[in-house]
Amino acid sequence: MANLVLGAMLNLNLNRNLERSSDRPNHQTDLNFQRSLWFKGMKFAIACLLVTCLSMISAIAPSMAALPTKSAIKDPRIILRNALPIDSEVLRDVQHTLEQMPRQANLKRWSSLKKDIETIAQSLTQNQSQLIAEVSSDRQGLVTEHLASLTTAIVPLQEAIAIKDRNSVKALSEKALDYVGLVEADFIQTFPFEVPAKYANLPQLKGRALVELSTEKGNATITVDGYNAPINAGQFVDLVQKGFYDGLTFTRADENYYLQTGDPNGAADGYIDPKTKKYRTVPIEVRLPDQKVPTYGKTFEEQGLSGTIPVLPFAAFGTVAMAHPNDDANAGSSQFFIYLFESELTPAGLNLLDGNYTVFGYVTDGKETLDKLRLGDKVLSARVISGAENLTN
């Protein structure tokens, strides 16, 4: 179609050149003739461009239809809260309403915010006894304490909304959400499922843990999620406990895509169990939103689930996942990578990584460190700072 437009312009220029070489007794007639030719050429060019645009729209329409109907969640804290295996409509309503407040404040929807914060306060007051009664007796003290802290945290947020203090809403809602997360965690009384028997001999993280990664460029904290990937999370935390990552370098890196470490010195590509003298590997392990147990052993691509968004997606800067050979998704061992989200290259919810690699955590503190790390930088140490009791061997 571009050639047609170009051809029209060449014909227009050719007509003008011929016109200049002929006798023109009437200058006005000649000028009108040139204008007529120019308008005809422009009309033809515009028509060609319109046809081209319509063709392009038709070509991309199927792709546009395949786009997610909602914006992908990019905040790892929200992803982790949503990934908790709980079933409390009251807490989820409070959580989701608080998560929307920073955006509502930016849009200056103060009347809606005022109504929402009042609804949250009333809900917590009316449902406090019920929420406490829903957990086992040994956890009721914790729930009572965390609910009281949440109620207290709501007060300054309510005041900020009343005076339309947009700058304070984000920090205050996030503080309240920290307590929501604690209450939600209190509701998990037992680990929600058993891993397949063939993997039962591997380390498992039955809950969550925090790992502090100290590097030459600063520190970063990883929230490791065993609720949704207990085997891969267990492998990672167990190796952290053994000091396996201390002193290793980032052997692969792309500033806008990922950082990878965990390749030990020497010929080995992963962790060799001193008891068996063999590589200790873990399977791919990904949970779908409508399933209680992760899928094991097969990628989403192999299952025909490409494009499906898992519970722990590659949607946030600082996503942590287990690396594996290209030809074997069940041969991950010690190497892991940290995903550096780049919206133009890997749109949240539209990348090819979801379901083809196991996500087992997110960097929730120290993201500025990730921006500084480069190929060859060293991990000084990795240590578990909380949740070690959730690791079983």
Q: Measure the CA–CA gap between 319 and 116, rounded to whole angstroms.
A: 31
Contact 173, 98 (CB under 8 A): yes
How many CB atoms are located within 10 Å of the residue 3 CB?
Answer: 8
Sign of CA dihedral 214, 215, 219, 223: negative
Question: What pLDDT, in 10s, does the model give residues 115-161?
Answer: 999 999 999 999 999 999 999 999 999 999 999 999 999 999 999 99
Question: What pLDDT, in 10s, does the model give residues 365-377?
Answer: 999 999 999 999 9
What are the two backbone dihedrals, phi and then psi, of residue 236, each rounded to the nearest 5 degrees?
-65, -50
Contact 58, 51 (CB under 8 A): no
Both structure tokens of 256: 């806008």
Both structure tokens of 205: 């993280």
| Unique residue bearing structure tokens 């849009």 | 107
Closest to 388 in 3D by CA, of 228, 213, 214, 210: 210
Closest to 12 in 3D by CA, of 47, 32, 42, 50: 42
Q: What is the pTM of this model?
A: 0.80
Question: What pLDDT, in 10s, does the model give residues 288-297?
Answer: 999 999 999 9
Average pLDDT, integer, range 34-58: 48
Give the lowest-confidence range in 33-42, 90-99, 285-294: 33-42
Give the lowest-confidence range in 105-114, 223-232, 242-251, 301-310: 301-310
DSSP structure string for 220-247 = EEEEEETTT-HHHHHHHHHHHHTTTTTT
